[in-house]
Amino acid sequence: MIKSLRMTVLAGLASSAAVFATASNAVEIEYWQYFFDARVTAMEQLIENFEAANPDITVKMTTFPYADYRTKVAAAIPAGEGPDVVQLFYGWLTDYIDAELIQPLPEAEFPAADIDASFFPMVQAMKVDGQYYALPTAVRSLALFYNERLFEEAGIDGPPATLDELVEDAKKLTKKDGAGNITQVGLTTGMTAQDHHWFREVLIRQFGGEPYKDNYRTVNYNTEAGLKALQYYADLEKTHEVTSSGFMDEPQAAFKAGRAGMHIDGSFRIGSLADIRGLKWGVAELPVGPDGTASNYSSYWVNAITTKSEGEARDAAVKFMQYVTSDEAMQVWLEVVGELPAKPSVGMTDENANDPLFGPFIRGLENAHTTIFANESAQRQVLVDMVARTDIQGMPLEESLAQAAEDEQKILDEYYAD
């Protein structure tokens, strides 16, 4: 509180000094994001570059802890306070449009057809009725992390390319004690982590299905393909015994401890794995399905112009949005935050696409899908419960899958009802 007060006073002094210095044609716009160290550093760098190129515009960045972010935004904008450009999770877009917190990006500067062509296809989830409301600087996708030391020990020469190879390699990597308890898993699993994305957007599609219809408003996985996908997932633990959900509490913890051969996770995990001593790991694209289908899941944070922004400030906000979605900004974001560029023109450069760490994630973006969630945590819970019912209560897979589809449809219906 005292710190923020002091910041306001300082900012006030600085801005009044700026007013005296550059007469009256300077515009100040405000940018809000939630607090995450690397993202703040990257944005500071972008603001500095932007201000150098546009000396008549100053950008003031304010950050909030993640937990308070939504409430603050909701309270400030209707009151005419707060940001001109705001950061939000892609899944919140509908809520923000409904609450009239953000305005569409102007067609003149952000022609929808150009964006369709220049960004990775999953960004089209940000288009409502032909108009883009928000755009990402960076995106995230999934890939397979593998422990090189354990691979060597098991005599496997490279990461698996197909789902069948995944099972075979996992078998070689699994270790058990005398009583049959697993002490090292071949592959980590857990619907509570990233597996619900892997199941939804990757496995179901690889077994020939389409997880949702009507722009993610109708659940469509209670099908043969859905059942095959669930069978494959459940078999990893039940039939092949190469994994145990909840092993070492969290999948990433098991991988970090060197007790897991393979681990599916997002690009945001790279940073925390880089610091683990003695862990030698590599990244590979997700294994392809039985018919060679590659698929991936992508999520991202976007920036949008708020409804509070008008006149000069809005013009400045548009310029700022253009800059933060430029190729230059995306390269900065990749280098500072480690998140992937949202445009193929930056991502698919030779250097980026063949980067040993980021490459597999970036190549995955080409066939990535973005689930349009109504309520991500509730929809994740549906899949967590689906597996728990078969695992703990011994419910047949068909029955549990049908119930999951029904439960998730209920969430979607309720959300889209009003």
Which residues form the interface with another protein (CB under 8 A)? Answer: 67, 70-71, 73-74, 95-96, 98-99, 101, 177, 179, 181-183, 190, 192-193, 244-250, 259, 375, 377-378, 381, 384-385, 388-389, 391-393
* CB of 228 or CB of 389, closer to another protein: 389
Smallest distance from another protein to CB 257, Å = 9
Candidates 229, 263, 210; CA nearest to 371 is 210
Smallest distance from another protein to CB 31, Å = 19
What is the DSSP secondary-structure string of 69-107?
A: HHHHHHHHGGGT-S-SEEEEEGGGHHHHHHTT-EEPPPT
* CB of 97 or CB of 334, closer to another protein: 97
* CB of 140 or CB of 259, closer to another protein: 259
**Count of CB atoms situated within 10 Å of the CB of 309:** 23
Q: Which two three-digit tokens encode residue 327?
A: 């190729």
Smallest distance from another protein to CB 176, Å = 10
Q: Which two three-digit tokens encode residue 326?
A: 């430029």
* CB of 101 or CB of 340, closer to another protein: 101
Supply the Cα-derived Rg of the chain in whole angstroms.
23
Candidates 30, 31, 50, 51; CA nearest to 39 is 31
Contact of 254 with 147, CB cutoff 8 Å: no
Contact of 302 with 291, CB cutoff 8 Å: no
* CB of 91 or CB of 160, closer to another protein: 91
* CB of 264 or CB of 283, closer to another protein: 264
Strand, coil or helix: 207: coil
| Distance separating alpha carbons of residues 392 and 403, to the nearest angstrom | 16
Smallest distance from another protein to CB 58, Å = 28
* CB of 33 or CB of 58, closer to another protein: 33
Smallest distance from another protein to CB 118, Å = 30
Candidates 355, 258, 260, 285; CA nearest to 142 is 285
